Chains A and B, each alone.
Chain A
Amino acid sequence: MSRVKMPPQIYRIVLLTVAIIISYLIARRLLTPPSFHQYGFFRGEALAEHASHTPVFAGRKACLECHDEIQARLFKGEHKTIGCETCHGPASAHVTDPDSEAKKPDKRNTTACVRCHEANPTRPVTQKQINLKNHYSGQKCVECHVPHQPNEVP
């Protein structure tokens, strides 16, 4: 029985294939970031990068830590669901550096009230709305209303 001789080109093809696979494995090993399979099929460090931004809004809890005298009044009235920064603007800089005058959030003017209370047919009927033109025009809202406690009269 004569042995079937493997042609040399087959050997070369097999060797080449093995070499390609090995170099692919090495390249993949080198190019894949270490955190790639940490949480799933993505770079795990991306989560930390997203989380590393600095918040601009501090949150109501941070405000009420110092301004607790407002809390008692605010929670009595209809404005209890409103966050402090809704009207006063972002306060993160003020929370980290409370003494700086420049970083204090602004006291809002009439536009803050009108933003929610101007009459608009799309607004839910439960929302209290005014028509700016015939609602004591020329006067400031706070002359008659207390923003922190809207059911009270100043």
Chain B
Amino acid sequence: MKNSVTRRSMLASLGGAVASLMSLAAARTAKAAVQKVFVTTSAPKDYDPHAHKWLMCLDVDKCIGCGLCVDACKTENHVPQGPTFFRTWIERYIIKKPKPGSGEARGEVVVDSPNGGRDGFPPTLVPREEILKSFFVPKLCNLCEHSPCVQVCPVGATFDSPDGAVLVDPKYCIGCGFCIQACPYGCRFLNPETKTAEKCTLCYHRITRGLKPACVEICPTEARIFGDLKNPVEHDPIQAFIQKNKVNSLKPHLGTNPRVMYANLDKEVR
């Protein structure tokens, strides 16, 4: 009996198929390498993520609540308009005087952030004489050492970049929103246009070009300090900030170990 498919021919065709698949992968790697050399992207070429460690620090006492950083962030990063989409925002904390005879050290805490503070803060509804103290707190991604958002992402779209930024790969993100729930600082949102999770990138396109993030550039009172821990400059702003202030981080009990540091942080800030 003559069989058209012999063992030999079967094995040969199988081997051929495997070899062609392998060569496809090799061709793709080669194509990527060629692309890297010849195709010009506007991304800076000489930037090495391992050579930097970026960090932002915030001084609560210096923030005047002008909200220009929020506006600058939206302009710079083309963040969707609307009062729920913010990569950075400002919260106003008002701690009222305790009721006489209540035996409390401080009264009710009122927190608001009208449109993220983007249009500035209107005078508060709480009369001045009822306020024990009040302050603005700028918020952004806390750049956690152990990021909950990275841990929960089911497709590995969120990652810790070696230079300290926590970034989202929009091509991998499926928009499930787990990271938005996982972030204890509320720093993420789902972009309604791309349907992917979005967050503060530390203005990655700016810091790789040697510029400061837009919010730091715009802040009129130097409430936001930005620097590179691996390449400290003379009179390094970050070193001076840590030396001069008693620094703290947000929600330290969660074990996320945020790298972003705040100076003059009140215990009521969450």
CB-CB nearest in chain B for A114: B120
B220 touching A39, Cβ below 8 Å: no
Check if B65 is an interface residue, CB within 8 A of chain A: yes
- Docked Cα-Cα span, A60 to B121, in Å, equals 26
Check if B176 is an interface residue, CB within 8 A of chain A: no
- Docked Cα-Cα span, A126 to B167, in Å, equals 37
* A51 contact set on B, CB distance < 8 A: 43-44, 47, 204-205, 208-209
Q: A143 to nearest B CB, angstroms?
A: 22
- Please report which residues of chain B, range 191-217, place their CB below 8 angstroms from some CB of chain A when the two chains form the complex: 201, 203-206, 208-209, 211-212, 214, 217
* A57 contact set on B, CB distance < 8 A: 72, 75-76, 206, 211, 214, 217-218
Count A-B contacts at CB 8 Å: 148
CB-CB nearest in chain A for B45: A48
* A116 contact set on B, CB distance < 8 A: 64, 66, 220
Against B, the Cβ 8 Å flags (1 = close, 0 = not) of A29-60 are 11001110001111100111111111111011
- Docked Cα-Cα span, A118 to B67, in Å, equals 13
- Docked Cα-Cα span, A50 to B209, in Å, equals 12
A121 touching B65, Cβ below 8 Å: no
- Please report which residues of chain A, range 72-97, place their CB below 8 angstroms from some CB of chain B when the two chains form the complex: 79, 81-83, 85-86, 90
Give the most central of A22, A42, A43, A49: most B CB within 10 Å: A42
* A49 contact set on B, CB distance < 8 A: 43, 170-171
B205 touching A120, Cβ below 8 Å: no
Q: Interface size for chain B: under 10, 10 to 19, 20 to 34, or 35 or more residues? A: 35 or more
Q: B2 to nearest A CB, angstroms?
A: 26
Known: A41-B156, A116-B64. A54 touches B211 (CB 8 A): no
Check if B124 is an interface residue, CB within 8 A of chain A: yes
Known: A81-B222, A90-B75. A122 touches B65 (CB 8 A): yes
- Docked Cα-Cα span, A83 to B66, in Å, equals 14
B218 touching A40, Cβ below 8 Å: no
- Please report which residues of chain B, range 159-193, place their CB below 8 angstroms from some CB of chain A when the two chains form the complex: 159-162, 167, 169-172
Q: Interface size for chain A: under 10, 10 to 19, 20 to 34, or 35 or more residues? A: 35 or more
Check if B140 is an interface residue, CB within 8 A of chain A: no
Against A, the Cβ 8 Å flags (1 = close, 0 = not) of B49-74 are 11000000000011111111000100
B68 touching A56, Cβ below 8 Å: no
- Please report which residues of chain A, range 100-125, place their CB below 8 angstroms from some CB of chain B when the two chains form the complex: 115-116, 118-124
Check if A26 is an interface residue, CB within 8 A of chain B: yes
CB-CB nearest in chain A for B128: A121
Q: B68 to nearest A CB, angstroms?
A: 6
B22 touching A29, Cβ below 8 Å: yes
Check if B42 is an interface residue, CB within 8 A of chain A: yes
B134 touching A121, Cβ below 8 Å: yes
Known: A57-B76, A59-B217. A42 touches B156 (CB 8 A): yes
Check if A127 is an interface residue, CB within 8 A of chain B: yes
Q: Please tell me which one of the listed residues A53, A56, A81, A115 contacts residue B120 in the complex, with CB atoms under 8 A apart.
A: A115
- Docked Cα-Cα span, A27 to B245, in Å, equals 54
A120 touching B123, Cβ below 8 Å: yes
Binding site for A on B (CB under 8 A): 18, 21-22, 24-25, 28-29, 32-33, 41-44, 47, 49-50, 61-68, 72, 75-77, 92-94, 120-121, 123-124, 126, 128, 131, 134-136, 156, 159-162, 167, 169-172, 201, 203-206, 208-209, 211-212, 214, 217-222
Beyond A46-B170, A46-B172, 6 extra complex contacts between A and B, CB < 8 Å: A22-B18, A49-B43, A51-B47, A83-B219, A90-B76, A122-B136
